Structure 1
Amino acid sequence: MEKIGALSDEMIDIMIKKGAILNAQDKNKNPGSLDLTISDEAYRVEGIFQPRIGEKISELLKIIEHYPHDLLNLFEKDVSYLIRLKEKFLLPEDVYGYCNPKSSSGRNDVHVRVLADGVPRYDALVPAGFAGNLWLAVRARSYPIKLFPGETLSQVRFFNQDTRFDEGELRVFLEQHKLLWHQDHLVDHREIKIRDNDGSLILTLDLSSQEIVGYECLGTDRVFDFSRRDYQIEDFFKPLYRPKKHLYLRNGAFYIFSTREAVRVPPDLACEMVPMDERSGEFRSHYAGFIDPGWGYGKNGEGKGRPLTLELRPFENLIVRDNQPISKIRFERMIQPPKVLYDKKRDSHYLDQSGPRLSKQFKKDQKTR
Structure 2
Amino acid sequence: MTGTGVLSSQSIEKLIETGALSADPAIDPAQVQPASLDLRLGKVAYRVRASFLAGSKRTVAERLAEFEMHRIDLTDGAVLEKGCVYVVPLMEHLSLPDDLQAVANAKSSTGRLDLLTRTITDGGEEFDRIPQGYNGPLYAEICPRSFSVLVRPGMRLNQIRFRRGQAILSDQELTALHAETGLVAGGTAVISEGLGFSVDLKPAYGDLLGYRAKPHTGVIDLDLIGHYDPAEFWEPIHSTDGQIILDPGAFYILVSREAVHIPPDYAAEMAPYLAMVGEFRVHYAGFFDPGFGHAAAGGTGARGVLEVRCHEAPFVLEHGQVVGRLVYEHMAERPAQLYGAGIASNYQGQGLKLSKHFKAS
Question: Does the alignment reach a TM-score above 0.5?
Answer: yes
Can you give the 5+ residue segments of structure 1 that lack an aligned partner in the other structure?
none
Equivalent residue, structure 2, for 1:203:
197
Alignment deviations for residues 65-88 of structure 1 (CA, whole Å, 9 cap, x no partner): 431112233111101111000000
Equivalent residue, structure 2, for 1:4:
4
* Contact 1:231–1:362 under 8 Å retained in 2: yes
Structure 2 CA distance, aligned partners of 1:297 and 1:33? Answer: 18
SS of 2:209's partner is strand
Structure 1 CA distance, aligned partners of 2:239 and 2:149? Answer: 30
Choose from 282, 286, 298 the match for 1:285: 282
RMSD: 1.7
- Matched ranges for 1:34-113 at <5 A: 34-71=37-74, 72-113=77-118
Measured after TM superposition, the shift of residue 358 of structure 1 is: 0.5
Equivalent residue, structure 2, for 1:214:
210
Structure 2 CA distance, aligned partners of 1:345 and 1:320? Answer: 37
- Matched ranges for 1:84-163 at <5 A: 84-126=89-131, 128-163=132-167
Measured after TM superposition, the shift of residue 114 of structure 1 is: 0.6
Identity across the alignment (%): 33
Structure 1 CA distance, aligned partners of 2:152 and 2:61? Answer: 21
Give runs of ≥4 in structure 1 deviating > 6 Å: none
Structure 2 CA distance, aligned partners of 1:340 and 1:346? Answer: 8
SS of 1:62's partner is helix
- AA partner of residue 16 (structure 1): I
Choose from 328, 337, 341 the match for 2:325: 328
Can you give the 5+ residue segments of structure 2 that lack an aligned partner in the other structure?
none
Measured after TM superposition, the shift of residue 288 of structure 1 is: 3.5
Equivalent residue, structure 2, for 1:170:
174
Alignment deviations for residues 152-189 of structure 1 (CA, whole Å, 9 cap, x no partner): 1111110011211111111111111321111xxxx6xx
- AA partner of residue 158 (structure 2): S
- AA partner of residue 220 (structure 2): F
Equivalent residue, structure 1, for 2:302:
306
Alignment deviations for residues 39-87 of structure 1 (CA, whole Å, 9 cap, x no partner): 0121100001111223221122223343111223311110111100000
Structure 1 CA distance, aligned partners of 2:317 and 2:120? Answer: 35
Instruction: Please identify, of 221-230 and 82-91, the stretch whose mean Cα deviation from structure 2 is larger.
Output: 221-230
* Contact 1:210–1:242 under 8 Å retained in 2: no
Change (3 A) 1:221 1:343: closer
1:232 partnered with 2:229 = yes
Structure 1 CA distance, aligned partners of 2:108 and 2:305? Answer: 9
- AA partner of residue 268 (structure 2): C
SS of 2:177's partner is helix
Alignment deviations for residues 297-322 of structure 1 (CA, whole Å, 9 cap, x no partner): 0236x853111100001112111221
Structure-2-length-normalised TM-score: 0.93
1:30 partnered with 2:33 = yes
Instruction: Please identify, of 39-48 and 242-251, the stretch whose mean Cα deviation from structure 2 is larger.
Output: 242-251
Change (3 A) 1:80 1:169: same
* Contact 1:298–1:343 under 8 Å retained in 2: no
Instruction: Please identify, of 277-286 and 29-38, the stretch whose mean Cα deviation from structure 2 is larger.
Output: 277-286
- AA partner of residue 210 (structure 1): Y
Alignment deviations for residues 211-236 of structure 1 (CA, whole Å, 9 cap, x no partner): 22200100224111111121111111
Structure 1 CA distance, aligned partners of 2:21 and 2:2? Answer: 23
Structure 2 CA distance, aligned partners of 1:226 and 1:125? Answer: 27
Measured after TM superposition, the shift of residue 286 of structure 1 is: 0.4
* Contact 1:111–1:138 under 8 Å retained in 2: yes
Structure 2 CA distance, aligned partners of 1:225 and 1:299? Answer: 34
Change (3 A) 1:160 1:275: same
